[in-house]
């Protein structure tokens, strides 16, 4: 089985017979083991604020959703979680929140980055995922210690992007942000939502080609999941968890086979569709898991979508049950490692 071009990608994203899907996942798993090994890397994710100035049509914490209570963790709360991750041998963390561009926010993040770096003796890797920012802000945070940045393009097709966002959310700005991040020296992660209203298999195939063209090191993509209090819900005719999960898993598998040596996350949204969704993601070619380490008191407020899993479990419980489940499928966890992708190292060697 080889997947060489757009036609092949569309074909495999569309396979529906159980046997063919099995073959696809098994092959993707083989490609994963050959290129990145049987290792899973953890990124502990701290969702530190649901305050957002944007209004993406699909997202539960969009600015105009007045039904939710807004929160922002204090500096001490964030640092405490980061240190918990460090002491529990997570190689790196992700700091994620709604998007804010104000000066206070920029300085707050900078201060936190410096503190975490210092308190972890420069060892804990830090990924940021706080949306679109100016070049100078990205640079400032890079200098303060962030080395990876996650910014999903959400939909690489301009028309689809425009259907999912209000007119003042610009596709070009998002693209420019990805270029700035790369230029500054971040390892750049991007991705899309899978199974969105209006989205076709051709759109998804173009997303994979987009990852290749942009020479992306890490891919974080997951199924789109409904949220009742969002404008896009009126375009969702039916929401079938099983088919949504299958499409997302096929997307992971095809991306692994096509791009080979990148890092691919098995995202929490997979688990929202099925209890073992993330393990299925690993079996279909993903190699990164981002366990939430956000304090339980805030978890139920950071609901980007419905049925978010583990909102009552504390980070320790999450870690133990995940570890057991990962080992049960025969994989090893790369504790205390940053887990950069071989793709990234190849690029560094060549430059």
Tell which positions 177-236 bind ligand SAH, by CB under 6 A. Answer: 193, 222, 224-225, 227
- Binding status of residue 73 toward ligand SAH by CB under 6 A: no
Cα separation of 32 and 283, whole Å?
Answer: 9
User: Whose structure tokens read 């700005």?
Assistant: 173
Q: How far is the CB of 311 from ligand SAH (least distance, A)?
A: 15
Residue 52 contacts ligand SF4 per CB under 6 A: yes
289 binds ligand SF4 (CB under 6 A): no
Looking at the Cβ atoms of 31 and 73, the one nearer to ligand SF4 is 73
- Which of residues 254 and 270 has its CB atom nearest to ligand SF4 in the complex? 270
φ/ψ of residue 292, rounded to 5: -75, 130
Which one of ligand SAH, ligand SF4, none is in contact with 62 (Cβ closer than 5 to 8 A by kind)? ligand SF4
Give least dist CB 178 to ligand SF4, A: 15
- Asked whether the beta carbons of 163 and 132 are under 8 A apart, the reply is no
Query: Which residue from 3, 46, 59, 310 is in contact with ligand SF4, where contact means CB under 6 A?
Result: 59
Span from 36-44, 55-63, 282-290, 321-329 in contact with ligand SF4 (CB under 6 A) = 55-63
Nearer to ligand SF4, 196 or 253 (CB): 196
Q: Give the span between the Cα atoms of 112 and 119, in whole angstroms.
A: 10
Residue 280: its H or E element: helix 277-283
Residues 154-173 close enough to bind ligand SAH by CB under 6 A: 154
- Nearer to ligand SF4 among residue 52 and residue 232 (C-beta): 52
CA-nearest of 255, 257, 259 to 247 is 255
Q: Which of 112, 197, 105 is nearest to 146 (CA)?
A: 112
User: Which residues fall within 8 angstroms of residue 264, CB to CB, at 6 or more apart?
Assistant: 218, 219, 221, 252, 255, 256, 285, 286, 287, 288
From 36, 45, 59, 254, residue interacting with ligand SAH (rule: CB under 6 A): 59
Q: Which CB, 56 or 216, lies closer to ligand SF4?
A: 56
How far is it, in rounded angstroms, from Cα 53 to Cα 336? 35
Q: Taking a C-beta distance cutoff of 8 angstroms, is the pair 141, 109 a contact?
A: yes
146 touching ligand SAH, by CB under 6 A: no
269 scored as a contact of ligand SF4 (CB under 6 A): no
Whether the CB-CB separation of 31 and 257 falls below 8 Å is answered with yes
101 to 140, contacts with ligand SAH by CB under 6 A? Answer: 129, 131
Number of CB atoms found within 10 A of residue 180's CB? 21
Residue 313 CB, nearest approach to ligand SF4 (Å): 23
Give the one entry of ligand SAH, ligand SF4, none that residue 129 binds, where binding means its C-beta sits below a cut-off of 5 to 8 angstroms depending on kind. ligand SAH
Considering the rule CB under 6 A, would residue 98 count as an interface residue with ligand SF4? yes
The tokens describing 140, both together, are: 């400032």
Tell me how long the chain is: 351
Crossing angle for the helix pair 135-143 and 171-184, to the nearest 10 degrees? 30
Phi, psi of 94 (to 5 degrees): -120, 130
Interacting residues toward ligand SF4 by CB under 6 A: 52, 54, 56, 59, 61-62, 98-99, 131
Interacting residues toward ligand SAH by CB under 6 A: 58-59, 96, 98-99, 129, 131, 151-152, 154, 193, 222, 224-225, 227, 269, 304-305
């Amino acid at each position: 089985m080889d997947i060489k071009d757009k036609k092949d990608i569309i074909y495999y994203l569309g396979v529906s017979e159980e046997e063919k899907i099995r073959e696809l996942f098994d092959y993707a798993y083989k490609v994963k083991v050959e290129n990145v090994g049987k290792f899973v890397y953890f990124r502990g994710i701290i969702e530190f604020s649901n305050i957002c100035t944007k209004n993406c049509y699909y997202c539960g914490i969009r600015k105009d959703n007045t039904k939710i209570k807004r929160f922002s963790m204090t500096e001490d709360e964030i640092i405490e979680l980061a240190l918990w991750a460090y002491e529990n041998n997570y190689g790196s963390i992700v700091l994620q929140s709604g998007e804010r561009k104000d000066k206070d926010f920029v300085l707050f993040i900078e201060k936190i980055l410096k503190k975490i770096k210092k308190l972890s003796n420069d060892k804990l890797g830090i990924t940021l995922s706080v949306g679109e920012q100016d070049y100078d802000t990205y640079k400032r945070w890079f200098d303060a210690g962030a080395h990876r940045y996650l910014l999903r393009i959400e939909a690489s097709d301009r028309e689809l992007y425009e259907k999912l966002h209000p007119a003042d959310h610009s596709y070009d700005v998002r693209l420019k942000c990805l270029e700035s991040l790369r230029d500054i020296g971040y390892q750049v992660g991007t991705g899309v939502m899978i199974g969105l209203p209006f989205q076709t298999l051709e759109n998804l195939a173009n997303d994979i080609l987009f990852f290749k063209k942009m020479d992306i090191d890490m891919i974080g993509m997951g199924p789109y999941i409904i949220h009742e209090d969002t404008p896009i819900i009126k375009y969702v005719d039916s929401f079938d968890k099983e088919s949504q999960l299958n499409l997302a898993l096929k997307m992971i598998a095809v991306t692994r086979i096509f791009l080979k040596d990148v890092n691919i996350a098995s995202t929490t949204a997979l688990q929202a569709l099925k209890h073992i969704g993330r393990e299925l993601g690993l079996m279909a070619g993903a190699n990164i898991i981002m366990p939430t380490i956000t304090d339980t008191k805030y978890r139920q407020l950071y609901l980007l979508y419905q049925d978010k899993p583990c909102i009552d479990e504390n980070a320790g419980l999450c870690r133990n049950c995940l570890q057991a489940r990962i080992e049960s499928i025969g994989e090893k966890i790369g504790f205390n490692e940053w887990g950069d992708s071989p793709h990234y190292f190849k690029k560094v060697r060549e430059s």
